[in-house]
Amino acid sequence: MPALHHQKPTVDVAMIGHFAVDRLIFGGREETSPGGSVYYGALALRRMGLSVAVITRLREADFPRLEELRSAGVLVYAHPAAETSGIENTYLSQDMDRRLCRPLGFAGPFRREDLPEISARTYIVGPIIAGEVDIPLVEALSRRAPVALDAQGFVRVRKGDDLVFQDWPEKARGLALVHVLKVDAAEAEVLTGRTDLRQAARILAGCGPREIVLTHSSGLLVLAQGRYYQAPWTSRQLSGRTGRGDTCLAAYVGKRLETSPEEACRFAAALTSLKMEKPGPFRGTCD
């Protein structure tokens, strides 16, 4: 009887990062919500019609929370951890751009053996807190396919009961492995010492990433192939501000699989603007 050959799954985008259970506090109201790049990003990508795999860590008691991803058609690889990661976000301004962040839990670092045997056109590395993903893991992924990386999971560091932003000691080595780097204005300043967004993007591109995706209070700035592209947020309200960067990076990376940086910039800003009008992940259509 001939041996059975199991073909490894193939997806457009594979995402790695902690699935989070966050606490959101705004205007005196408090709520608990799923979060993390793998949550917001994967559901946006599925709405775009792309195939997605998620590699994550969380405590087994929270595994049922992953059913929302599976129901959307996401291929989920979940590894048990002692805790589920989470962040308490207290928003300090009406535009929800200023916030205090406090860690609620940490699901521990990913290991090489956590990586499944899958084939992906691109990877999104979306940790939420420093310590989830290390350089050897990024190196391993970069040998498989181009890597998009969210800087928040390298500059947002746990210090006791607080989360603080600090420079990434291994950024020269890490950024050299990255195809697309996503930062927000605060992260760009931490990594470069610059408040001018274009200057910061240029410095970061000089470290190795081919494309810089930079979100800020007014919109999206992209530096790709030596050119800058901009698109504004057009949200009518910002009740869905949480998950802005996660959604924007996923939308940009997914759209870049088929189109130019300029078009991907416009698309990502438009999709993210719609997402920010309602709490939770993007649930609209991309017609």
* H/E run at residue 85: none
Query: Residue 93 has what DSSP assignment?
Result: S
What per-residue confidence (pLDDT) applies to 239? 81
Longest Cα–Cα distance in the chain: 67
Rg (CA), the chain: 18
Phi, psi values for residue 119, rounded to 5°: -115, 130
What per-residue confidence (pLDDT) applies to 15? 98
Token pair of 190 as six digits? 């931490």
Q: Which residue has the tokens 């746990």?
A: 158
pTM above 0.85, yes or no: yes
Could you list the pLDDT tens digit for every one of the 287 residues in the chain? 445 556 889 999 999 999 999 888 877 788 888 999 999 999 999 999 999 999 999 999 999 999 999 999 999 999 999 999 998 878 776 555 566 788 899 999 999 999 999 999 999 999 999 999 999 999 999 999 999 999 999 999 998 888 889 999 999 999 999 999 999 999 999 999 999 999 999 999 999 999 999 999 999 999 999 999 999 999 988 888 889 999 999 999 999 999 999 999 999 999 999 999 998 999 988 86
What per-residue confidence (pLDDT) applies to 287? 67
- HEC string of 13-57? EEEECCCEEEEEEECCEEEEEEECHHHHHHHHHHHCCCCEEEEEE
Instruction: Give the type of residue at 169.
Output: P
Strand stretches in the chain, DSSP E: 10-16, 20-26, 29-35, 52-58, 75-80, 86-91, 99-105, 119-125, 147-150, 156-159, 162-165, 180-184, 211-215, 219-224, 227-232
- Tell me the sheet residues that pair with 52: 13
Classified as helix, coil or strand, 185 is helix
Question: Is the CATH number of domain 13-275 3.40.50.10190?
Answer: no
What per-residue confidence (pLDDT) applies to 238? 83
Exposure on the CB side of residue 171, measured as CA atoms within 13 A? 23
Token pair of 253 as six digits? 């990376």
- What does the domain layout of the chain look like in residue ranges? 13-275
Q: Distance between CA atoms of 56 and 107, rounded to whole angstroms?
A: 9
